[in-house]
Structure 1
């Protein structure tokens, strides 16, 4: 017999449930019935509107902030604020300049007293419990069905001081968890209400349904279950526990990793107006926690970027851009000197962030920035915030309710055009682009020298092999390159027999399985669709590659679609873990359709340069790139290369990077990555040429005409660099 009344201590029991199995056992012992979420028999599509579990979680944070604002308004009898930012300023004392003018004590105390996001371990490491607790206004049991358990019912439209009027609502989190436990008590007191939300696939009944349904539990009389006020002590506010939440990338919630919860929340709350606390209770998993939960304050990426940092080279404060009848925008940017740090603040592939009330509502790609401004050397190191709070109602209508996109026409396109126009006309950005271009041409790095050495080792072992690992650089005629790459055997199929306006499939056609991604190299992924070039060129749709399952891969660039083929390049981190595997997904998507294809990628070791050489095999010497500022040999612009076979164990090759024949060619490079790839390729091939020339000369034991050697070296340098820039396999050696 199921119990008809609730046990004393039920609140603690609800707060202790961590697994789907525990929730099911609990429900078995309760006398409960189920009602459809939102009172709708078909609610699955509404719950599934948000695609990203991180964005869905952001909706829960939004609800928590709104609950705190509502409580402050309710208790202070103040409702005159015209915006959320104004409300936080009036009710909590936030400076109009944001967190930068507030003490760290204020920021932490405000977060600690109001909102806590906790992540707890359970039996599934990638599906933890995520608990959102706020000390906001809370809800009475009789109000649950109009708030927590409603769908598409916005009770905030007449309250301009709340954020959630633009969002889809916290119900989107139900799509990413097995169960959601909701507990709340109004700040004025009274009984505490609770309910549990689940998904019912409706496959076990007599009737057949094409869709499942989300539902919540109620008492047999149809009312929300409650706990008497006497058992709730002095607690009020709300708790939402998401059981077995999809959080595969939340490996360490408090680290600064690209996809960890701490970073994800800073990205989604980019210009946050209200701080909150993030707590990791998984003390057994992370030994550094020393048995105690770790807590950090989440303040949004803008605040973190504005703090004094060695990573920010230049920034510009907000600049207003007028949109006429639609209001205005404010644009702010940061240029980082370390490109790898961009991922700590924004998605490195989508660094143009559009915010409303501090929250990310839309992003644009670095390609959007590059193509619109021509600042190719900043595309991988800039973060831009487009603050849209000063748009009027017609301007804000360009944003969708899922906080994931902006309309592609009308006001949405006007906003894009104005943003890119303002950035393209920025004198500081133009000067910085030239500065980073100059650095890319003139500076060398150990990474370039190591890649050149690896290429030299490959050439010495197999002169016809070429560089299997360096993908062609962006710009020039990359599509005509004849080198082979990681993940393929250098041979290509002919492609689709027939091309259409829209694809009927998408496929990753790299030959090897799993596809090998060499540590520290560039991976080329070959994507095939049976659509012609107009599919993307005329913006009918787009072909993308989802790399999020493997942290070590970062989007680099892509070619245009041609003859049903498109190549998408990803850099592999230098410290990628050998043996790690993950799934990449090619996506062809348009307004009325979507196809996907998945392939496994595995991190493998790059080829190592031989230091000793085997029988009959030339040893691979060390390589040093010589610049004007690092010129111990006293070279001028006419010098090219020297091999010192007696230096060290294997010899050393010196290659000039300021030779008069290569600098003019490098002046035309389109991007920073292109410069690195051109120079490492040039260095490796030039070193191979010189090693072979010097070895042959020693074997002949003949007199050497030094003037002729230098003349020939310059000829080879000029032809070699031109062939590399033109995307050809060097044949001058």
Structure 2
């Protein structure tokens, strides 16, 4: 039998390969053949079972944990009848209370000595090498085809101490990398086995195939390549190197935020029962690493949320929620005082996390939470873990093998219903919802004031509807008639004839092509979509505007969807290059559909201005929102607005946010985001009303009846806020 004489130099070469070109060069230098993964000619669908590269990577980490537990059983350190949590407790000393009962040294040392996940740089920033190494049981070369290189052959079903029995398996990572290098040696010793997995499109041969196939390399005699035990003395366990892995959504450094592997792994291993080390070796790209790999311990989001945290306002643990024949659930929630921090622990759009043996197996959306509980003001700041370890065997059948969804079965429906009932009936959540609703109505922020100021500036500089419909520039010559957008027929202001629950199209209906965006100004993009206002307000879907193709444009604000119309405003940088052009794209999407519409946009010169503000323009004052707790003017609930033209360089407008006419209207606002948006709009329009009133009063130099002015201000405030809350366009006032 022919054997390749491989040595430790070759092992080091395998461990150093970083690009697909390097792997291909390596393969050309060795006499190797190829076998179909899993022994199947059609295996693509099995490999592609998992849709998310992060979830697939989680399967590799699961395999590494299981390898460590398997070694413990093999060495008689744990009872083979144990559950995964019991096994970790017996072998590694994890407290039943979890990591909170363990020292930081235990957590770090356990991770460091057992499992390491590393990221390595190559020529493609979005496609790094990801290497998973463990000190687990390892495999003999002759067992590779029944373990690493098998498909749908679950050898863990009779091993209750393993986590991976409910998953799809590490083979799902093959779908997201160009090559996978697998190296392993059994903990009892023996030769080191290795192989390389690739995808063969099968388009270059004589036969035609409709599907490609995943393959692994073997020696010409069909054996797995190996390195004699005598030539390697420093390898134990397994190494899997994923070459050019799709890391588009987690390519950033290991800092806080959603776009890095540290956060991704904490999400997928939400209630992890086994810590592991994450190492980023991309020292040249991230100078903050000071030429040393950055290493962080991954313990799961539950542990991080349970630690003393500046983010967590309140939490509560339901130790047992009975499901009858399906077993029981344990539910814990955390309400965060900072909404933006949610993404550090869970997907903000799907913050209800169902875990099994610590791993995320299913998520539910914030809409599921909002619709089921009515706690609208908590949906963007709550994280819930539904621990499913105490489900019965029948109950666990609710979960699918891809760890991405729950089956639409009786078990799944009972679980979902019981979870939402427990949360909806919780008195602490009810009180917190009222508290955050009150804050949303009463509190102000610099962001609200900035948005209001932008709106005020836009109204003062562009009194007509839309930047693209301004009066002719200074000089008196009328502009040539602009072409009407194709498909509008000059009647786009009438809106869609019929509105639906879900749209059948989206289009940008600005009249001018390309849409002119004035340097340093705000451009309004008019979007038409034949869906009713509930499409966004009830979170069926969303309408967005992609500005990424045009340098110098940034999102500014947007209106609600009303009568099939939505306006999205973009700020044009004052240093944007005149003549710069590109495509903007309106996108409407929901769970089952998506439409797009593109329009050309060009950066143009702003109207010429004089030192006093230009032709017909007023300089935009600063804006301050006044609350009961921030009330230097000594106002009461009957005061509305004041313009102080001599304050600062441009004046300042003070707008009351606790006026007796607007608070009752705000009580009907359904969500925190809506409250903030409506208050910004109200502040901007109220400031515009007052600036124009004061300007006109100064021009006529008339005696002012202060009592009448205050009455009129209150009337305008009440009508204006009601119009904004009802989704009407305040310009019609």
- What's the TM-score once normalised by structure 1's chain length? 0.86
CA distance in 2, matches of 1:601, 1:354: 44
Segment drifting more, 263-272 vs 315-324: 315-324
Hey, what does 2:315 align to over in structure 1? 315
Residues 3-28 of structure 1 deviation map (CA, whole Å, 9 limit, x = unaligned)? 95324411101001111000000000
Q: Report if aligned partners of 1:459, 1:466 keep a CA contact under 8 Å in 2.
A: no
Hey, what does 1:49 align to over in structure 2? 49
Residues 515 and 305 from structure 1, CA distance in 2 versus in 1: closer, same or farther, beyond 3 angstroms? farther
CA distance in 2, matches of 1:183, 1:548: 44
CA distance in 1, matches of 2:445, 2:284: 41
TM-fit CA distance, 1:674: 1.2
Give the alignment of 1:431-450 within 5 angstroms.
431-450=431-450
CA distance in 1, matches of 2:197, 2:432: 52
CA distance in 1, matches of 2:180, 2:375: 47
Hey, what does 2:474 align to over in structure 1? none
Whether 2:120 is the aligned partner of 1:124: answer no
Hey, what does 1:271 align to over in structure 2? 271
Hey, what does 1:483 align to over in structure 2? none
TM-fit CA distance, 1:617: 1.4
CA distance in 2, matches of 1:50, 1:331: 26
Residues 169 and 322 from structure 1, CA distance in 2 versus in 1: closer, same or farther, beyond 3 angstroms? same
Whether 2:76 is the aligned partner of 1:85: answer no
CA distance in 1, matches of 2:394, 2:140: 35
CA distance in 2, matches of 1:463, 1:300: 53
Hey, what does 1:479 align to over in structure 2? none
Residues 150 and 585 from structure 1, CA distance in 2 versus in 1: closer, same or farther, beyond 3 angstroms? farther
CA distance in 2, matches of 1:295, 1:582: 40
Residues 254-308 of structure 1 deviation map (CA, whole Å, 9 limit, x = unaligned)? 1122121110000000000000000011111111111111100001001111111
Residues 80 and 24 from structure 1, CA distance in 2 versus in 1: closer, same or farther, beyond 3 angstroms? closer
CA distance in 2, matches of 1:411, 1:570: 46
SS in 1 for 2:361: strand
CA distance in 2, matches of 1:542, 1:571: 24
Residues 328-347 of structure 1 deviation map (CA, whole Å, 9 limit, x = unaligned)? 11110101111000000000
Hey, what does 1:685 align to over in structure 2? 685
CA distance in 2, matches of 1:459, 1:282: 48
SS in 1 for 2:385: strand
Hey, what does 1:243 align to over in structure 2? 243
- What's the TM-score once normalised by structure 2's chain length? 0.86
CA distance in 2, matches of 1:610, 1:166: 71
Hey, what does 2:633 align to over in structure 1? 633
Q: Report if aligned partners of 2:361, 2:399 keep a CA contact under 8 Å in 1.
A: yes
Q: Would you say how many aligned residue pairs link Structure 1 and Structure 2?
A: 693
Hey, what does 2:706 align to over in structure 1? 706
SS in 2 for 1:393: coil
Hey, what does 1:484 align to over in structure 2? none
CA distance in 2, matches of 1:276, 1:90: 18
CA distance in 1, matches of 2:680, 2:463: 17
CA distance in 1, matches of 2:403, 2:558: 26
Which runs of no fewer than 5 residues in structure 1 stay unpaired?
469-487
Whether 2:334 is the aligned partner of 1:354: answer no
Residues 711 and 313 from structure 1, CA distance in 2 versus in 1: closer, same or farther, beyond 3 angstroms? same
Q: Report if aligned partners of 1:138, 1:238 keep a CA contact under 8 Å in 2.
A: yes
Residues 619 and 508 from structure 1, CA distance in 2 versus in 1: closer, same or farther, beyond 3 angstroms? closer
Residues 542 and 160 from structure 1, CA distance in 2 versus in 1: closer, same or farther, beyond 3 angstroms? farther
Hey, what does 2:286 align to over in structure 1? 286
CA distance in 1, matches of 2:373, 2:525: 26
TM-fit CA distance, 1:637: 1.0
Residues 526 and 362 from structure 1, CA distance in 2 versus in 1: closer, same or farther, beyond 3 angstroms? farther
Q: Report if aligned partners of 1:525, 1:567 keep a CA contact under 8 Å in 2.
A: yes
CA distance in 2, matches of 1:674, 1:553: 21
Residues 125 and 632 from structure 1, CA distance in 2 versus in 1: closer, same or farther, beyond 3 angstroms? same
Whether 2:395 is the aligned partner of 1:387: answer no
Residues 462 and 600 from structure 1, CA distance in 2 versus in 1: closer, same or farther, beyond 3 angstroms? closer
Q: Report if aligned partners of 2:5, 2:227 keep a CA contact under 8 Å in 1.
A: no
Give the alignment of 1:614-633 within 5 angstroms.
614-633=614-633
CA distance in 1, matches of 2:244, 2:7: 25
Q: Report if aligned partners of 1:515, 1:601 keep a CA contact under 8 Å in 2.
A: no
Q: Report if aligned partners of 1:643, 1:691 keep a CA contact under 8 Å in 2.
A: yes
Hey, what does 1:656 align to over in structure 2? 656
Hey, what does 1:193 align to over in structure 2? 193
Hey, what does 1:97 align to over in structure 2? 97
Give the alignment of 1:61-460 within 5 angstroms.
61-460=61-460
Q: Report if aligned partners of 2:585, 2:596 keep a CA contact under 8 Å in 1.
A: no
Q: Report if aligned partners of 2:442, 2:627 keep a CA contact under 8 Å in 1.
A: yes
Residues 702-729 of structure 1 deviation map (CA, whole Å, 9 limit, x = unaligned)? 1111111111111111111111111111
Q: Report if aligned partners of 1:584, 1:601 keep a CA contact under 8 Å in 2.
A: no
RMSD after superposition: 4.2
Residues 497 and 701 from structure 1, CA distance in 2 versus in 1: closer, same or farther, beyond 3 angstroms? closer
Segment drifting more, 638-647 vs 62-71: 638-647
CA distance in 2, matches of 1:536, 1:697: 44
Q: Report if aligned partners of 2:643, 2:690 keep a CA contact under 8 Å in 1.
A: yes
CA distance in 1, matches of 2:665, 2:639: 16
Residues 586 and 635 from structure 1, CA distance in 2 versus in 1: closer, same or farther, beyond 3 angstroms? closer
Q: Report if aligned partners of 1:58, 1:268 keep a CA contact under 8 Å in 2.
A: yes
Residues 711 and 585 from structure 1, CA distance in 2 versus in 1: closer, same or farther, beyond 3 angstroms? closer
Q: Report if aligned partners of 1:8, 1:231 keep a CA contact under 8 Å in 2.
A: yes
TM-fit CA distance, 1:80: 4.0
Q: Report if aligned partners of 2:305, 2:334 keep a CA contact under 8 Å in 1.
A: yes
Residues 303 and 133 from structure 1, CA distance in 2 versus in 1: closer, same or farther, beyond 3 angstroms? same
SS in 2 for 1:184: strand
Residues 169-200 of structure 1 deviation map (CA, whole Å, 9 limit, x = unaligned)? 00000000000000000000000000000000
CA distance in 1, matches of 2:106, 2:546: 35
Give the alignment of 1:477-516 within 5 angstroms.
none
Residues 381 and 600 from structure 1, CA distance in 2 versus in 1: closer, same or farther, beyond 3 angstroms? farther
TM-fit CA distance, 1:123: 1.0
Q: Report if aligned partners of 1:370, 1:379 keep a CA contact under 8 Å in 2.
A: yes
TM-fit CA distance, 1:630: 1.2
TM-fit CA distance, 1:453: 0.9
CA distance in 1, matches of 2:558, 2:397: 32
Q: Report if aligned partners of 1:58, 1:265 keep a CA contact under 8 Å in 2.
A: yes
Residues 379 and 601 from structure 1, CA distance in 2 versus in 1: closer, same or farther, beyond 3 angstroms? farther
Q: Report if aligned partners of 2:67, 2:137 keep a CA contact under 8 Å in 1.
A: yes
CA distance in 2, matches of 1:344, 1:21: 36
Hey, what does 2:724 align to over in structure 1? 724
Residues 361 and 123 from structure 1, CA distance in 2 versus in 1: closer, same or farther, beyond 3 angstroms? same
Residues 423-449 of structure 1 deviation map (CA, whole Å, 9 limit, x = unaligned)? 010000000001011111111111111
CA distance in 2, matches of 1:692, 1:294: 57
**Radius of gyration: which is bigger?**
2
Residues 549 and 249 from structure 1, CA distance in 2 versus in 1: closer, same or farther, beyond 3 angstroms? farther
SS in 2 for 1:347: coil
Hey, what does 2:643 align to over in structure 1? 643
CA distance in 2, matches of 1:116, 1:547: 41
CA distance in 2, matches of 1:695, 1:341: 44
TM-fit CA distance, 1:491: 5.1
TM-fit CA distance, 1:348: 0.5
Which runs of no fewer than 5 residues in structure 2 stay unpaired?
469-487
CA distance in 1, matches of 2:14, 2:38: 23
